[in-house]
Amino acid sequence: MSAIPHNPEFRDGVMRCVRCSICVPHCPSYAVYRNEADSPRGRVQLLRALMEGRIEADANFELHMDRCLGCRACEDVCPSKVPWGKLLTETREELLPTPHARTRKRVTELFLQRVVVRPDTLRLLARLLAIIQFLRLDRLARWVVRPFSKTTARRIDLLPRVAGKPFEPSEIEPPETPTVAFHSGCIMGATLGDVQRAAIRVLEQQRHAPVVPPTQHCCGALHQHAGLLDDARILARDTIAAFEDSGVVPICTTAAGCSLAMKEYGRLLADDREWAERAATFSTRVRDLSELVGANVDTPTEKIAVQEACHHWNVQQLRGRGLALLHNLGADAVALPFQCCGAAGMWSAEHPEEAWQLLQPTLDSIEKSGCTVAAISNPGCLFHIRAGLRSRKSKVRALHLAEVLAPPAPDEE
Ligand code: SF4
Ligand code: SF4
């Protein structure tokens, strides 16, 4: 790494840390690695040592930055308001060109830059994956590779299970006067098409008239997380432009990671004269689905355990929103103890064994709850928890909150 970011806000953010350690017990990477350098306090001190020229940005430094899940639990509890999300993404951006970047990181970058941003390619891949899963070729591949690489076998376990055909914006007839604009997402739209259709039914049951802007694609949340900030800015501008035609109605998302990234476009594009104001306006419009649902929904009949995504719990102030909504509807619902499930965007693909380890307490809580359904509001967590429940042959079904709330599809009635 040539240097750490030079902007004064970065330096100020690092210097705010008073080493109080309040953040340490909240950190999932510390829970897994049990190493001070893999705690938030340790990472901030590494940045400080780097700024002061006491250490080099070598492979060891990179490793500890790489092991952060970006869950931002530390930021949420920090009394000194250390802006760890900003420090992490800007540091990762600086780290990208170094020779220390390992192959898996390069693969992640290529996937984000060449696949995730192309909806047609993503949909094609999702269809291919659905066929592979239907023929159980993934299980065969897992069986073949397991004796040679447990990590690769774990990656196969964690592959998203495709649910329904990919969601296409053209499926929804544009209303004359839209009251909400729907974010169809990239991986979410390609692999969880049925969840997106369920979300549209929920919105319609709320007497909303949803429009799905056809030119939208990836919002750049995963790129931000990986420190690919130039790519993230391009995708943010594309997303803002795609949604401006729908007027100033709320923008509904079904992915906690995407809603957080889009709510932070104002900050991402703050130095861009042409886009800063448009980004700030856009961010004020972004809502999670649970923020747009009132009482107009049938009461779910199963006992539901509600899992909170880090990006709802930590930063977005949506803590307890899903549970309160279900209680208001009269549903029998309980909250799972809050803990990071280990999905964290592309982190689980890069660190599958550690992600699996972090997942186990969440699975234990789901099983102990006695519920028949786990309600989840983020696609990464949903894939991850579904994989874990499958591996335990659990009878509990992991569903997106949209699926829990939605009336049956016309062909299911
Ligand atoms: S809580 Fe904040 S101030 Fe305290 S050690 Fe963690 S980052 Fe530093
Ligand atoms: S973002 Fe999460 S994993 Fe990273 S240092 Fe903070 S608490 Fe730990």
Q: What is the CA radius of gyration of the chain?
A: 21
246 lines ligand 2 (CB under 6 A): no
Q: Which long-range contacts (CB under 8 A, 24 or more apart) does 229-234 make?
A: 229/89, 229/90, 229/93, 229/268, 230/93, 231/112, 231/113, 231/117, 232/261, 232/268, 233/268, 233/269, 233/272
Ligand 2 atom closest to the CA of 73, numbered from 1:
7
Q: How far is the CA of 390 from the centre of ligand 2 (A)?
A: 27
Ligand 2 atom closest to the CA of 72, numbered from 1:
1
Tens of pLDDT along 137-163? 999 999 999 999 988 999 998 888 898
Averaged pLDDT for residues 321-335 = 92
28 lines ligand 2 (CB under 6 A): yes
31 lines ligand 2 (CB under 6 A): no
- Give the number of the ligand closest to the Cα of residue 339: 2
Q: How far is the CA of 65 from the centre of ligand 2 (A)?
A: 10
Question: Is 369:340 a contact under the CB 8 Å cutoff?
Answer: no
Q: How far is the CA of 279 from the centre of ligand 1 (A)?
A: 30
- When pLDDT is cut at 50, 70 and 90, the band that residue 1 belongs to is very low
Averaged pLDDT for residues 198-208 = 94
Tens of pLDDT along 2-39? 556 778 889 999 999 999 999 999 999 999 999 999 99
73 lines ligand 2 (CB under 6 A): yes
Which of 29, 39, 41 for mutating ligand 1's site (highest number of atoms within 8 Å of CB)? 41
Ligand 1 atom closest to the CA of 44, numbered from 1:
7
Residue with tokens 């795609």: 242
The H or E element containing residue 306 is: strand 304-306
Protein residues whose CB sits closer than 6 Å to any atom of ligand 1: 17-23, 40-41, 44, 74, 78, 80, 82
Averaged pLDDT for residues 106-124 = 90
d(CA 186, CA 123): 9
Tens of pLDDT along 253-296? 999 999 999 999 999 999 999 999 999 999 999 999 999 987 77
Question: Is 222:116 a contact under the CB 8 Å cutoff?
Answer: yes
pTM of the full structure:
0.91
CB atoms within 10 A of CB 222: 25
43 lines ligand 2 (CB under 6 A): yes
Residue with tokens 């055909």: 165
- When pLDDT is cut at 50, 70 and 90, the band that residue 102 belongs to is low
Q: Which has more pLDDT, 105 or 342?
A: 342
Q: How far is the CA of 134 from the centre of ligand 2 (A)?
A: 37
- Please state the length of the chain: 413
Backbone phi and psi for residue 182, each to the nearest 5 degrees, phi listed first: -105, 130
Averaged pLDDT for residues 357-372 = 96
- Taking CA atoms only, the protein residue closest to ligand 1 atom 2 is 78
- Tell me what pLDDT residue 99 has: 60
Averaged pLDDT for residues 176-180 = 93
- Give the number of the ligand closest to the Cα of residue 225: 2
d(CA 269, CA 237): 9
Which of 22, 45, 71 for mutating ligand 1's site (highest number of atoms within 8 Å of CB)? 22
40 lines ligand 2 (CB under 6 A): yes
- When pLDDT is cut at 50, 70 and 90, the band that residue 97 belongs to is low
- When pLDDT is cut at 50, 70 and 90, the band that residue 375 belongs to is very high
Tens of pLDDT along 31-90? 999 999 999 999 999 999 999 999 988 889 989 999 999 999 999 999 999 999 999 999
Mean pLDDT for the chain?
A: 91
- Tell me what pLDDT residue 413 has: 58
- Tell me what pLDDT residue 412 has: 65
d(CA 290, CA 322): 6
Averaged pLDDT for residues 87-104 = 75
* In the predicted structure, residue 299 carries a pLDDT above the cut 90: no
List % helix, strand, coil for the chain (3-state, nearest 5): 55, 5, 40
